Structure 1
Amino acid sequence: MEKIQNYINGDLVPPQSGNYIDNFCPATGNIYSLLPDSDGHDIDIAVKAAHNAFQFWHNTPKQERSDILMCLADEIKAHSEELIVAESRDNGKPEWLARAVDIPRASTNFKFFATAILHFDSKIHEMDGKAINYTIQQPIGVAGCISPWNLPLYLLTWKVAPALAAGNTVVAKPSELTPM
């Protein structure tokens, strides 16, 4: 049986506790994998890794971040059939729906924000000749992103892609109902 690991700092790592929980196929009720029973220790490690990565990532030029996000979009598209099967198995939706909506949209989300980051700008507004108000768009640090159970990959990419595009790093947590 497949034992899923946490993905932290580019590595697959077991939970600090060593504990796993059963993952059930909603269509059959059968256990098909084991999931890490992650706790605060795992979160601390993930946040520290994301904070360390932020020191590099937020200084990465926008064009380079855009290129990387485009590559992620291309990888989703290249592995779409595998992702369609996994999405169907994970939450019980029909493969045709994952093929028509979820997986294409996950790729499109990365493409959308990959191009949007190249067009973000700062804004300046004069206030009756007395002051100037301005907005500067800059990364803030580590973003925590939680995916819902009903559209796990699609909506996770809608959260992760803009955070990465803006120069933030991410700690993502899947729904316990659709963790794959």
Structure 2
Amino acid sequence: MSYQKPQLKAQYQNYIGGEWAPPVDGEYFEDISPVDGQVMAQVPKSNHKDIELAVSSAWQAARTWGKTSATERSNILLKIADRIEENLEHLAMIETWDNGKAVRETLGADIPLVADHFRYFGGVIRAEAGEVSDLDMNTVSMEIHEPLGVVGQIIPWNFPLLMAAWKLAPALAAG
């Protein structure tokens, strides 16, 4: 395994509606590595305009994703976990250089847990079931699982991939 600084693109975009898009106002900021104090990449300095585009796109996607079968959602989550595991060392090095966390943590805990969260929710969605109970002669209690809609999250600097997985995997599993 190489502990060298990972090779990244010079500039990144927002991923909205299945496409890479520059920030609406065209502003970027430098992502400085705490390991060497050098710029890792230019990343979008997104604002409310970018968020509005992302939320609008997410609502459009939710109409289709919410109707996707539990089996298909499960298979997609398991494929995400596979891809994370296939790129474990590379992702761990990016995480280390991005936030300064020790490689033993990113390689031995953070990134494996990212894959594990997608794998866990990819499995649990297959066993999802509602419940119907007779409470008395005139009352039936029904548990209906249905997606609520779009969610948003702010990702911290110290657990970016793991925190994203904690939020994304269950939301994607739920539909």
Using structure 2 for the length normalisation, give the TM-score: 0.90
Aligned pairs for 1:115-126 within 5 A: 115-126=123-134
| C-alpha displacement of 1:79 | 1.0
Distance in 2 between residues matched to 1:117 and 1:148, nearest whole Å: 27
Q: Which amino acid aligns with 2:153?
A: C
Q: Which runs of 5+ in 1 are unaligned?
A: 168-180
Give the count of matched residue pairs: 167
Which residue does 1:96 correspond to in 2? 104
| Deviations, residues 46-96 of structure 1 (Å, cap 9, x unaligned) | 111111111111111110110011100000011111101100011101112
Shift of residue 146, structure 1, vs aligned partner? 2.5
**Following the alignment from structure 2 to structure 1, what is the Cα–Cα distance between the partners of residues 24 and 16?**
12
Contact 2:14 2:20 in 1 (8 A): yes
Gaps of 5+ in 2: 1-8
Per-residue deviation at 1:166? 0.7
CA deviation string 1:89-110 (max 9, x = no partner)? 1110111211100111111100
Is the counterpart of residue 106 in structure 1 residue 114 in structure 2?
A: yes
Out of 150, 162, 173, the position equivalent to 1:165 is 173
Of residues 139, 144, 148, the one that matches 1:140 is 148
The question of 1:128 aligning with 2:111 is answered: no
* Residues in 2 aligned to 1:2 and 1:123: alpha-carbon distance in whole angstroms: 52
Higher strand share: 1
- Same amino acid, percent of matched pairs: 38
Matches within 5 A, 1:5-154: 5-154=13-162
Q: Determine helix, strand or coil for the equivalent of 1:142.
A: coil
Helix, strand or coil at the partner of 1:150: coil
TM-score normalised by length of structure 1: 0.87
